Amino acid sequence: MSAFQKVLILFSLVLFFSDCQKREDTTIQKNVLTYLIGCNGGSLTACQASCAATYPTLTGDNYPTATTCFSNCSTYCSVTNIYLLISNK
């Protein structure tokens, strides 16, 4: 077998096993799913009401989790944030 045939066979094997597929962009789907999962109640006020009902009084013990809950509401339920996530592919 000549060197050219060996290179041709090796090149063919590389192409066959490299699995050349087109990459599908799922950025929008992932960002919308993050919004739906992260924003409890579907709106900022509903999410904040849910956090307020879960943590009616803030104490030293539940303060970190309560502030995290309110912070997640501000982040995930922001209409501006979801617009930027969807438009920034």
**Per-residue DSSP letters for 6-59?**
HHHHHHHHHHHHT---PPPP-HHHHHHHHHHHHSTTSSHHHHHHHHHHH-SS--
CA distance 78 to 44: 7
What pLDDT sits at residue 30?
Answer: 82
pLDDT tens-digit profile of 23-67? 777 778 888 888 888 888 888 899 999 999 999 998 889 999 999
What pLDDT sits at residue 21?
Answer: 63
What pLDDT sits at residue 64?
Answer: 94
* pLDDT reading at 22 higher than 70: no
Report the predicted TM-score, pTM, of the whole model to 2 decimal places. 0.60
